[in-house]
Structure formats: structure tokens, C-alpha cells
Copies of this chain bind each other. A is one copy, B any other.
Amino acid sequence: MTSVQTKGAPARMNIADLGEPPQNLTGLFAIINKQLGTTRESRKYFLKCLIGDKTGQVPARMWTIDESTYASLPTDGFVRLEGQTQAYQGEIQLIISRIEAAEPTPEQMRDLLPASSRPAPEMFAELTAILGTLRHPAMQALAKAYLDDAFLMDQFRMAPAAKSMHHAYLGGLLEHTLTLLKLADSICPLYPKINRDIVLMGLFLHDLGKTRELVYDRAFSYTDRGELIGHIVDGAIMLHDKAQQVMREQGVRIPGNAMLVLQHIIVSHHGIPEFGAAKIPATPEAILVSQLDNLDAKTTMALAAARPDRANAIDTGGNFTEKQWALDTKLFKPDPLA
């Protein structure tokens, strides 16, 4: 597979910017769900797939393709291509004239997968700052052990928060975690008996197991480990290891009840067994973490569906969105005070 240089090339057109067909399209793209089709009339093979970048996806066809080229392309991965759009069934379709597999640099990859609108380093700095306000030395030591784990933090900055649903884009896990920390920072003063350190650490750690649960280097899907073990148990195991490391490397012992409650927050944050919680939240901090997680997930999903950043290419019309399964309802779109 040839690594393709894009330096000096004119800026690639984003999928989201495609207008009236026909338009030419050239450059590095993600390919999703490669399949072999056969035309009805001539019984010839053709390539069917989706072509995408961080801004969207478009169905594509390549009517003439030899077997070795087909075989050389990844099912989900990256390609360099040339093609032209045309209208089909009232939607845009891309007809590919040339295609080859490609290996984008990490930087290019960010251009090809959907990503948070905010830069990860900026969000990470904000998160680090909030964790800097932890008061208990053991919590400070534990936070440090995580923040110093460069490999894990790289994944944390990169991972999406979900395969689909809310925050399903690169940096989504960090963005979701940061929002939760900011929510907690605002809210904790209203509940003076809440242990703020535990809430902040619980929120920081609650979804870190997702770095092992999800694949996100070519498409978003679950790892085998994600399917069979899940981020909830893995997050608890990671904390088990990290606490031993804090003792070993910093000589700090996490108080027994703090370990117990933090691990409990991780295993209980989905709230009820039907949603994957291994235990029902059973301390005030575990309850608050679970509630905040749910509040941010649902509010973010609702806003993304009812008030998207970019009008959908093809609006279904009417005042309601499609049914949002995770919210169990369609959403009313008009601004009530407009």
C-alpha cells in the first residue's frame, strides 16, 4: 500500500460542501463498508461503498474495477481517489474514476474522521486545570498518575465517547468528560455535603475504559474486549492497577473507602443494570456522577438532533426530527420563542 503525499495539493473539497452535481472530487478520503456489486444488465462487477471525511459521507460507485484493485482496498480505511458527483434518486452519488489505498498521517486522519470542533490540547489543558483544584493529597496523587500516563492520555484525547449516539467523534470522550467536570464545578457548591474531590475524580475516571472498548483509527466500532468485557469492568481494572502504581511510585496510599467509592462510581455510573451498571449507584457522589453523565448525554443528543450546526442536506420537513432512539421520541425543532 502506497503512502500518498498530499503536500502542495490544492485544498480538498469537504463532503459537506458538495453542491449541485456534477462536481469533481480529488484527494484523500475515508472509505466505509466496501462491497462488490453486479450490474443487473451486464452482470459486471462494480465497487459500492461510502466515501467520507470528518464533515460527512456520500454513497459512491466505481462501475469498472479490476479484481486486484478491489482486493487492495480496505473494507474500512482510507483511500486516495478521483471522481465526479451525479444525482441519483434525488440524492448525490459519487462516481469514482480512480482509486487506491492510502495511509494518512495522524494529522491527515483528523481531517478524515469526524472530530470535536474544539482542539484536543485546549480541552485537555482545561481539564488539567480543573483537576488541579483537587484538595486531598491522595486524589492529587491519583490524578497525577493518570495524567502522567502519556500513552493513556493520548488515547483519552483521541477517543470518541461512543460508537454512535452522543459525542461519537474524535475527541468526543475528552469533550464529554470536560463538560462533566465543568458541570460539577458549577454544581457542587449547591450541595455543601457533597465530596467535590470524589465527584471530580469519579467523572474523570468514569469512562476511561472506553479507550479499550472502542476502535477509532479507521471507523468507530467496538473492540473484541469492548464487546466481551466492556468499559465498565475495564475502567475498574485500570483503577486497580493505577492505585498500586501510585503506592509504588509516589508512596501514596489511596484511602480504602476512596478506592472503594471510586471503583463503585465506575461500575455504577450507568445507573441501572438494564443500561449496563454492575451496581446501582449507592453513595451521594455515585448518584451525582450518574445523573450528570445522563444529563449531559441526553441534552447533547437532543441539541444535536433538534438544532444541528449545519442544516441537513435534505430536511425531512415538518416540525419534528426523526425518532431519536436513545431519547425514545421525535424532537420538536422550532425555537419556542423565535
Q: Answer whether A329 and B280 are a contact pair too, CB < 8 Å, given A227-B320, A236-B233, A337-B255.
A: yes
A198 within 8 A of B: yes
Interchain CB contact (< 8 A) of A183 among B187, B237, B282, B298: B187
Assembled-state Cα–Cα distance A233/B52 (Å) = 39
| Given the contacts A255-B337, A299-B191, A337-B255, A327 and B283 also touching, CB distance less than 8 Å | no
Q: Is the CB of B138 within 8 A of A257?
A: no
Q: Which residue of B lies closest to A136 (CB)?
A: B337
> Is residue A68 within 8 Å, beta carbon to beta carbon, of the partner chain?
no
How many A residues face the partner with a CB closer than 8 A? 89
Task: Name the B residues within 8 Å of A191 (CB-CB).
Answer: 299-300, 303
Contacts of A336 in B (CB 8 A): 195, 198, 255, 257-258, 260-262, 283, 285
What mask results when residues 271 to 291 of chain A are scored 1 for a CB within 8 Å of chain B, else 0? 011111011111111011001
- Chain B's closest residue to A275 (CB) is B273
Contact among B36, B40, B292, B337 with A295 in the assembled complex (CB-CB below 8 Å): B292
A37 interface hit (Cβ, 8 Å): yes
Give A85 to B74 CA distance when docked, in angstroms.
29
Q: A278 touches which one: B195, B232, B264 (CB < 8 A)?
A: B232
A88 to B240, CA, bound (A): 49
A residues neighboring B (CB under 8 Å): 35-38, 40, 43, 45, 75, 86-90, 136, 138-139, 179, 182-183, 186-187, 190-191, 193-195, 197-198, 224-225, 227-230, 232-233, 236-237, 240, 255, 257-258, 260-264, 267-268, 272-276, 278-285, 287-288, 291-292, 294-295, 298-300, 302-303, 306-307, 317, 319-320, 327-332, 334-338
Q: Which residue of B lies closest to A75 (CB)?
A: B317
B43 and A88: CB pair below 8 A?
yes
Complex CA distance for A211 and B138, rounded to whole angstroms: 28
Which of B45, B224, B332, B337 lies in contact with A228, CB distance below 8 A? Answer: B332
